[in-house]
Amino acid sequence: MPHRLLVFYGSYRSDRAGIRLARYVTQRLQARGADAQLVDAREVGLPMLDRMYKEYPPGEAPEAMATLAGRIRAADGFVFVAGEYNWGMQPGLKNLTDHFLEEWFWRPAGIVSYSGGRLGGARSNLLWHGTLSEMGMVVVSSTVTVGPIAQTLDADAEPLGEAGKALERAFARFADDLAWWTEAARAQRQRTPPPY
């Protein structure tokens, strides 16, 4: 059975260059045989966090939140496409993730970051490691940083020049790492129920 992977993207800006990377990741994972689906925070449209999904009485959470909770629980692993804003996290992506907690548990997560500059969102990438671990995910050690994003992927999410070739090389290792941990976590969940 193919790995069920959700690729999360969180920019709400009108000119979103990072969507190229989110599409690239989704398409490349699909090409490797995964059942990868893009989750765009702007399209999901959750409000600023007031109550987490688990804080609603059964059946009373907003429909978009309940639907996404089900998709997260059914997934085998996650990829977070993380833009960097002023040395920090993208607020739209952080807001989306904070609506859930137990839904994330016992699955691996990978981080692919980007920025308009040459550091490729490395600072945001680093911040996400601790956050995702705290939220119950195992963060794979391989990571991808892309920058400048507009010189790495074209509008159709296809690699450009030397930067695009470097992305292709880095992504192959990242995807192998994520696949290994996804399979390991899925097998372990089938053998032994999670302790909590």
Strand partners, 77: 5
CA atoms within 13 A on the CB side of 9: 22
- Is the pTM here over 0.75, yes or no? yes
CATH architecture of the domain covering 4-191: 3-Layer(aba) Sandwich (3.40)
Instruction: Identify whether the C-beta of residue 168 lies closer than 8 Å to the C-beta of residue 159.
Output: yes
Strand partners, 37: 6
CA distance 135 to 169: 29
For residue 16, give both structure tokens.
Answer: 């979103």
Instruction: Identify whether the C-beta of residue 57 lies closer than 8 Å to the C-beta of residue 104.
Output: no
* Predicted pLDDT at 196: 82
* Predicted pLDDT at 118: 87
What is the number of other CB atoms lying within 10 angstroms of the CB of residue 135?
17
* Dihedral (CA of 68, 45, 99, 2) sign: positive
Count of residues in the chain: 196
* pLDDT per residue of the chain (196 residues) written in tens, 0 to 9: 999 999 999 999 999 999 999 999 999 999 999 999 999 999 999 999 999 999 999 999 999 999 999 999 999 999 999 999 999 999 999 999 999 999 999 999 999 999 998 899 999 999 999 999 999 999 999 999 999 999 999 999 999 999 999 999 999 999 999 999 999 999 999 999 888 8
Q: Give SS3 for 138.
A: strand
Distance (Å) of CA 126 to CA 83, 114, 133 = 12, 12, 12
Q: Where are the beta strands (DSSP E) in the chain?
A: 4-9, 35-40, 77-85, 88-89, 108-114, 138-139, 144-146
Domain boundaries, given as residue ranges, for the chain: 4-191
Q: Which helix (H) or strand (E) holds 80?
A: strand 77-85
